[in-house]
Amino acid sequence: MLHFTLRQLQVFEKVASHLNYSRAAEELYLSQPAVSMQIKQLEVHIGLPLFEQMGKKIFLTEAGHELFHYARLIAQQLTEMEAVFDEMKGLGRGKLTLSVVNTANYFTPQLLAKFCQRHPNINVILQVANRDAVLTQLADNSTDLAIMGQPPEGQDINAESFMDNPLVVIAAPGHPLATLPHIKFAQLARETFLSREKGSGTRSAMERVFAQHAVQPRISMEMETNEAIKQAVQAGMGLGILSLHSIELELETHRLVVLDVEHFPLLRHWFVAHRSNKRLSSAALAFKEFLLTEAVSNK
């Protein structure tokens, strides 16, 4: 029979998440030797090594991978239990872990500010990443809710749309196409594009629309942030395709223009998503309801 403590399991989960003793120690407000001692004690109880070191990096062993799976499930159940008891005691507080794709971070802070004004005792943890990383967080059950442009198909995910997300073609004001009306899609084949990285929702949408029109985009450079793409487009390095939400400031200051290209804007939507079988806390339910009923009016 295994005899380890919940504290040891919590320490292990943090180390396994980061594969780094120092970062785990910082999050747990412990010293690194204290973290190492907890892991050693846990390995004694398990009877198997949980980590192996290669050079300066640590990796999970086979036993470590198995324990990590259960540790995350137990951590999530403990969080849900704590939320249930808080609600029963009427404390009016809670915690919301929210994951958003990079582009959604242009409007999410304003929505969160409005929500937190109404619910000042809710602690919000905001995680910003690309679409693949957000999907992993959903799959790992390490987030309550996610905001993304295109929910996955064939997965056990509940997703509801709450706001339009138009994608547009952008250019520098001095670009030859900047003042032309009714640009044919085929003309884009002659242009150079700056694109988000593979795994980005914007990149996937771009690839789909070009494939639908049998046009091969000339991608000169891949960038991991919308800001980098905007700067490169402003510098005249090529065209870009981004969410209209991400370029509002540049349009107001006339640093970028939206091209009048047929079939654009691409009309997409923002979705709020969570695991279908996840028991949402009152904080998560309140924020989801807020998005579905008031996101458009607050944008």
Query: Distance between CA 201 and CA 126 in Å, rounded?
Result: 19
Q: Rounded to whole angstroms, what are the CA distances from 70 to 9, 96, 160?
A: 10, 22, 29
The answer to whether position 22 is within a domain reads: yes
Residue 297 predicted with pLDDT over 50: no
Residues 190 and 207 in one domain: yes
Comparing 172 with 95, the larger pLDDT belongs to 172
pLDDT band at 282 (very low <50, low <70, confident <90, very high): confident
Mean pLDDT of 61-84: 87
Residues 186 and 159 in one domain: no
Compute the 3-state secondary structure of the chain and give helix, strand, coil in percent, each to the nearest 5: 45, 25, 30
Query: Distance between CA 113 and CA 205 in Å, rounded?
Result: 29
Q: Whole domain around residue 127: which residue ranges?
A: 92-163+269-298
The answer to whether position 241 is within a domain reads: yes
Residues 170 and 259 in one domain: yes
Q: In this prediction, what percent of the chain has a pLDDT beyond 70? A: 96
Last residue in a domain, options 49, 77, 105: 77
CATH number for the domain including 48?
1.10.10.10
Q: In this prediction, what percent of the chain has a pLDDT beyond 90? A: 64
Residues 145 and 276 in one domain: yes
- Which alpha helices (DSSP H) does 163-225 contain, by range? 201-212
The answer to whether position 283 is within a domain reads: yes
Residues 145 and 211 in one domain: no
Residues 213 and 283 in one domain: no
Give me 181's structure tokens.
């009306």
Residues 193 and 48 in one domain: no
Residues 104 and 226 in one domain: no
Residues 195 and 263 in one domain: yes
Total count of domains within the chain: 3
The answer to whether position 1 is within a domain reads: no
The answer to whether position 82 is within a domain reads: no
DSSP calls for 172-189? -TTSTTTT-SSB-GGGGG
Mean per-residue pLDDT over the chain, rounded: 89
pTM of the entire structure? 0.66
pLDDT band at 231 (very low <50, low <70, confident <90, very high): very high
The answer to whether position 200 is within a domain reads: yes
Give me 97's structure tokens.
């872990």
Residues 156 and 293 in one domain: yes
